[in-house]
Amino acid sequence: MAVTRDRVMRALAEIKDPEVNRPITDLGMVREVDIRGGDVKVTIALTIAGCPLKAIIDAEIKERLQAIPGVRGVEVVMGAMTEEERKALFERLHGRRTARSRILEPDSPTRVIAVISGKGGVGKSMVTANLAAALADLGYDVGVMDADIYGYSIPRMLGASGHPTVIDEAIMPLPAHGLKVMSMGFLVDEDKPVIWRGPMLHKALEQFFTDVVWADPDFLVVDLPPGTGDLALSLMQMVPRAETVLVTTPQQVAFRVALRAGEMARRTQVRILGVVENMAFVRCGECGRVEHVFGRGGGDAVAEKLGAPVLGRIPLEAEIAEAIDAGRPLAVHARESEAGRAFAEIARKVAEAGARRAAATAGR
């Protein structure tokens, strides 16, 4: 069977750029296709010469083209886009607008879900990573913003690394597990502290919203620092239509601390979707007996005080720590675990809360 350009281009059209999640043929990345018998040579224009994802693109091109009947060999030549090509790419993605994202605009279709906690150590970032992964597993387009500027941990939890590509002053989020991810961890050395005062934090958060090419995802899940400081207040002022998920633990001693974060959201008129109780219990793997090693009732008490539901209870499982260390969200890679099922239920409730709100608004 003869190898034709049409068949090669159809195969290339099935390959999506990991950063933009669009076919490389739509993005103008396929610069040349040369077919000589069963040998195919493809020249690809990357967004930048040192694109951190070029090995992924190279491997997928070879895999797709080698699957075409009649193809004996595949050669992929990687080049880089010119400045004019990069500008054309940006216009292809976003029209002739500036690099500013639509997320801060009132008519943005993106639901911003801020994950908050009263204090550190309750598993807020772990909940952020797994909630985002579970939403993506339901079929939604999801971005993850690590707004915990001082204590960023989302890159490690999602196994994402590298430096983001910049096109015409627009920052491309890094891909991980089907998510679009942006974090201060991509911009500084991993062990380097971020020593900034409040105004600089506010500016960084604003740039994460406006200069990152989120491309109108269904959800943007934001991991905020613990407590009621500058960044949490800045987000609630920037995005008054944001919604919050409050993470706490079962101890009664955590009740007042968690409640403060919830009260801040309520006073700024940000909608509270509900409470996630982490480390809620330990289940014996042999007999199934449940032990409440950290007490019980804290999540219920916070939820009742705020007039919000308990979205779910996450057990204390060794698999959670293992998933974090491996950079593989348990919500996707261990769906059938008790914690995996809990995150799937939490994601479903978060998604349905938006659908109910939209229906209520439409009925006014």
| pLDDT of res. 360 | 54
* Least confident stretch, 16-20, 146-150, 287-291: 16-20
CA distance 212 to 41: 34
pTM for this entry: 0.80
Q: Beta-strand (E) ranges in 39-188?
A: 39-46, 73-80, 111-117, 142-146, 166-167, 170-171, 174-176, 179-183
SS3 content of the chain, % helix, strand, coil (to 5): 40, 20, 40
pLDDT band at 47 (very low <50, low <70, confident <90, very high): confident
Each residue's pLDDT tens digit, 187-212: 876 666 565 555 677 788 888 898 88
CA distance 243 to 259: 16
Place of tokens 């772990």: 126
- DSSP notation for 180-213: EEEEGGGTS-TT------HHHHHHHHHHHHHTB-
Please, are residues 2 and 40 in contact by the beta-carbon 8 Å criterion?
A: no
> Which distant-in-sequence residues (6+ apart) come within 8 Å of 285 by Cβ?
none
Q: What is the largest distance, in Å, between two alpha-carbon atoms of the chain?
A: 73
Beta pairing partners, 183: 146
pLDDT at 364 over 60: no
| pLDDT of res. 44 | 93
The percentage of the chain sitting over the pLDDT mark of 90, rounded to a whole number, equals 44
Helix (H) or strand (E) holding 325: helix 318-326
More confident call, 318 vs 360: 318
Residue 112 is which amino acid? Answer: V
Each residue's pLDDT tens digit, 135-144: 999 999 999 9
| pLDDT of res. 191 | 62
More confident call, 360 vs 293: 293
What are the chain's domains?
A: 5-94 (3.30.300.130), 111-362 (3.40.50.300)
More confident call, 101 vs 298: 298
The percentage of the chain sitting over the pLDDT mark of 70, rounded to a whole number, equals 90
Each residue's pLDDT tens digit, 150-172: 888 999 999 988 888 777 677 88
> Which distant-in-sequence residues (6+ apart) come within 8 Å of 306 by Cβ?
246, 259, 262, 263, 266, 272, 275
Distance of CA 293 to the CA centre of its chain: 31
CA angle 289, 295, 297 (to 5 degrees): 105
pLDDT at 173 over 70: yes
**What's the half-sphere exposure (Cβ side, CA atoms, 13 Å) at 21?**
18
